[in-house]
Amino acid sequence: MRTLPRVATLFASVRATAVLPICLAATAASAQSDTGARQGLLNGAPDPTGVATTNAAGETVYYVAATGQGVKLLRSTDLKHWTQAGRVFDKRVPDWASRAVPGAQGIWAPDLSYHNGLYYLYYSVSTFGSQHSVIGLAVNKSLDRESPDYRWEDRGQVIASDAADTDFNAIDPALLVDEEGKWWLFWGSHWSGLKAVAVDPSTGKPRDGAKIFPVAARPDTTSHAIEAPFVLFHDGYYYQFVSWDGCCDGAASTYKVMVGRSRKPTGPYADADGKLMLDGGGTLVLENSERWRGPGHNGVITTDKGQWMVHHTYDVENLDAQRILQVRPLDWTTEGWPTVGEPLAAPQR
């Protein structure tokens, strides 16, 4: 199986968040009717990212990694119907991360991409509302469980945060390979906002003493509610998608997707009105509707057939399913700003 080459609008290799407004049968079974929104953080398929590959038959196959115990993996050939494709880890959290973050029950916001012959999966481990967090990295030569090359290698800690030592929260990682081939890791949630750092392609980790760049924040709010950076290149600009406000409160969720752009990966990013994202700027991409609540934690998938924004959302008609997958067509205005259409498919019951 080979990975599709990334087109000019994305990184040097395909990085996708392949998600749909569907509820997997196993996911629905695990999301029991009496499960509250906060108690169901690991249910559904939240915070998904993924890659597009081509199998031996020449078919495009999409793999998605999502928040859950051990990191959930899903597989699809049409971006509409998904099957389970195993988990990255046999345990709900790797041993080293359990020691680093006592009480963690699962793995959050995995970032899956393909570079230089390896699938890179950055992941985060934390507890809700805490700044005591870590980001780790696992790699694999294949995502096909039938392949002799299928074996996850955990490279351990990449970045850590703690109230005593840092002003950021080390969750929600996202890898960017820029137009010059330089590797950057973005991350962050609440506190002082979102950050970026150069990483060594040979290790996938920052070098000692690497400079950390602030790239977005919300100093104009008491909640500082910004997280989930996702950066892509399009027509001369780097676009930083972020999520604002409350992610995980069912129908009361206020999560939304915002965006800004910059000529450089490290910023400064500004919205369509010119307000810097470090000052709380952001142009709206997607927000609540009557049925879909808390849409956010997005990524973008690009193939030769088009471009889509993918994210999670609550369905008010089936809140017990928790945060489900959704994909929408993505287009660009004449002024160079992203817009999204309606979901490609309705949820499966």
Residues identified as active-site = 47, 227
Backbone angle region of 297, left / alpha / beta, with phi > 0 → left and psi within -120 to 50 → alpha: left
* CA separation, residue 1 to residues 15, 29, 140, 143 (Å): 16, 32, 13, 9
Nearest by Cα to 69 from 23, 26, 15: 26
Strand partners, 161: 133
Nearest by Cα to 71 from 29, 42, 35: 42
CA dist 73 and 145 (Å) reads: 11
Which pair of structure tokens corresponds to residue 309?
């924004």
Which pair of structure tokens corresponds to residue 308?
């889509």
- Across 97-152, the runs of DSSP E, i.e. the strands, are 108-115, 118-125, 133-140
Taking residue 165's Cβ as centre, other Cβ atoms within 10 Å add up to 8
* CA separation, residue 118 to residues 100, 108, 110, 137, 157 (Å): 26, 21, 16, 12, 18
CB 262 within 8 A of CB 268: yes
